[in-house]
Structure 1
Amino acid sequence: MGTALARAWLAAGHPVTVWNRTAARAEALAADGAKVAASAAEAVAANRLVVVCLLDDASVGEALDGTDLTGRDVVNLTTGTPADGRTRATWVQERGARFLDAGIMAVPPMIGNPESGGYVFYSGSSALFEEHRETLAVPGGTTYVGEDPGFAALHDIALLSGLDGLFSGVLHAFALLRREDIAPTEFAPLLIDWLVAMAPFASGVAEQLESGDYREGVVSNLAMMVAGNATMRRTAEEQGVSTELFTPIWRLMEQRLAEGHPDEGATGVVDLLVRRGAGQSV
């Protein structure tokens, strides 16, 4: 990802100084016009805008430790947690620099390609973001989500969590068909169309969470969904497919129903997850 970012800025005509813990990777960018620094400190000293993209937050601390950040604008494009972003913001600010954390919603081939749809969440110093907005827009679209340095990572991980749920459903669906004379490539378009048609479910959940009325606009209520889950479970058993990807959500829905919410949709599961995460009795 770091190489893709550097190449995007180089292609746009920006002067770029690079450093990599694996020297050969930095040297490979010299042919594209990058200046190769011998150390992280030398790279930081080269320009006011300092972009960091490493393995994890710990590697960011190791790379920047001992460098002079005074007067620098540090943009951290390393994937981390909200707590990482907040802690790193304080760490950078204590060393005399402004800080912006980021969450990249793209893979390397999408970087620098305006048609790819890739973009980056940013949070932290709004002044820093506004000053460097055009430069930051070169690798991909920019979406600023607030002064709280943890918000970029939170948006990033929340979207990835939704994607993991999508992966679970897709994989389970294909597992059900695996032993049958049904071509996966013929089934895939049906699955895609169905998922697209159901995507507005997210808007419904959002509206219910904001209104506090979990019965608002419900088409399939929780009682109906729990009954349907039993059929899904039996079908999996008949097809010889494990239900381990779905058992947790089914149990949560059953618990919410048992608490007396048959006319709601599935939104109440959000509250169950928050309560359990906070260690409260359920």
Structure 2
Amino acid sequence: MDYYKFLCPNKEGTYKFLSELYGSVAAVEEIDGIHLDYIRFPDVILAEGLWDKYGLVMDQEFPEYDYCYCDTCTSDFKEQTGIAIKEVEDASQVQEWKQFRYDIITTMVGRLAKVVHKEGKEINAAVFPGPSIAKKLVRQEWNKWDLDAVYPMNYNDFYLKNPEWVGTIVDEEVRAVEGLKPIYSGLFICPNPENKTQENDPENHGLLPSEIGTAIRASMENGATGICLFTPERMKPEHWEAFEKAIYVDYTKE
């Protein structure tokens, strides 16, 4: 994918670029906050529902999809742990190397949060689910991030799960932040419900009108503060009808 390019988050230049950008946006009076996306490493493991589309089987970590092994990252890691990661036979088994990458992203978010908060604005992020899935696939240990809210992309079809799974993962997400910050469950909408079973591209799958109520209920009953439609432009009238019914239900547990 031509658009799929990343800057190493361990480079000071990356922080400088992002902090100047987000700081200047946050300084605009009319702006309420900053939303982070792609604040991660590239997928070392792709969600299972996408394997066929890209002709991959990613049931484990493979070196060609693992980042970042630049001189800055490898030298910093060796200084920190004494491990020369390029000389290790199977880097995927080195837990310290995983944690090192988690911490790089966590540090970047923390530094950006200070920039945004200095302007009196809030900061939140779109993240992978979990964070168990997020850590495994893209090195996001987001439960440790300094955010005002979290928007996990709970795209059940990407993980070959039914809409009820959204509730299971939301429960994990709420527990992961110990209820200290709001979780907005991110939902993925099917753009052409009548063709979903014939659609080969999983990125054109998503929730049917008959499923959106289930996903909202599962999210709210498991502690989500609210839900987020990451793909609202895909909503059909039938989606909106089911959505309106679902959002006015009282999900408060007795």
TM range (shorter): under 0.3
TM-score after normalising by structure 2: 0.26
Higher normalized helix content (fraction of residues):
1
Q: Which has the larger radius of gyration?
A: 1
TM-score after normalising by structure 1: 0.24
